[in-house]
Amino acid sequence: MKAGAIRGLLALVIAGIPLLAHAQNYPARPIRIMIGFPAGGGSDVAFRKIAERMAARVSQGVIIENRAGAGSAIAAQAVVQAPPDGYTLYGAGTSMATFKIFNKDLTFDVQKDLAPITRVVDTAYAIVINTKSPAKNLKEFIDWAKANPGKLNYGSPGGAVRLAMELFFETTGVKMFHVQYKGEADYATALLQDQVQAVFGSPPTYKPNVEAGKLRIVAVTTANRVSGIPDVPTVSESGYSNFVIGNWYGVLAPAGTPRDIIGKLNSEFAAVVNSEEYKQYVAKTFQGAYFPVSSTPEEFARFIDSEIRRLTDVAQRSKIDS
């Protein structure tokens, strides 16, 4: 082999040594996953189980840290500002695809300043109402809301949940006033106290009060019924065909995180969410309304791009810009 070729080969080998070293040494200390909503909500519960199983796999602590506010943008900001070493991750939800709509003063761009790792869960929304409402099903609730335009409230954390509700109003012709809360635990309480009359939420959050007769789930937003609440119809079955919308969760790191660390995290997260243990946990805990998934970093990046376009279109049609 010629000397020039040998030097070139050695250069490639030497260049690869730092990358290999990253993967061999990582993780050497606990990993933090920043969640943008308070403890007790659907995303928090889902990520805590993932963190527990990740910790067992990597032999390091995996800590959930709740940084609620601004539709999860505060948590994202903390991750963007963290060192790109794989020790601070963002437990994202669909709301990250709405930052450009609702957080005009942000100094970062999720498509440039965060590195996708993988999607981990897709979810269904349940449409939940207070039993103080005279409605017993979705059609009756829509009729009641139409008869009381501007008098009823709905709660959300803003972001994607708000846009899902607005798309529902666009579909049904209902008009309700938006009240924003930090997280689902907060607006679930507001619904229970009749401060808001409807929410889009995670079925398990409302199960105890549904069973107690204080709240009612009148529909789910998936294409098919949710296995844990089989008597609840879909929105499509209730007379509004093709209305299907949901939420998703995924994990991202600061931009610039070494590719081999991204790859290792992708493999570890995929192993957790694709395990029978996690699937059984999700099926039991979330009544069949959460669906474990995984993706490559590249697939997740393309998915985020498509979600930003989709939700921006909804916001523009609904004339929402803050």
129-187 confidence digits (pLDDT tens): 999 999 999 999 999 999 999 899 999 988 899 999 999 999 999 999 999 998 888 99
Task: Let me know if the fold of 3-123+247-318 is the same as that of 126-220.
Answer: yes
55-106 confidence digits (pLDDT tens): 999 999 999 999 988 888 999 999 999 999 999 999 999 999 999 888 888 8
* CATH superfamily, with its number, for domain 126-220: Periplasmic binding protein-like II (3.40.190.10)
**Which CATH number fits the domain 3-123+247-318, given the four candidates 3.90.1310.10, 3.40.190.150, 3.40.50.150, 1.10.10.10?**
3.40.190.150
Query: What is the pTM (predicted TM-score) of this model?
Result: 0.83
- DSSP secondary structure code for residue 233 in this structure: P
Q: What does the angle CA 203 – CA 209 – CA 215 come to, to the nearest 5 degrees? A: 80
**Could you give the CA distance from residue 151 to residue 166 in angstroms, rounded to a whole number?**
16
- Domain-by-domain residue ranges, the chain? 3-123+247-318, 126-220
**Could you give the CA distance from residue 235 to residue 233 in angstroms, rounded to a whole number?**
7
Assign 3-class secondary structure to 69-91: CHHHHHHHHHHHCCCCCCCEEEE
Do residues 93 and 82 lie in contact, with contact meaning Cβ atoms separated by under 8 Å? no
Do residues 242 and 236 lie in contact, with contact meaning Cβ atoms separated by under 8 Å? yes
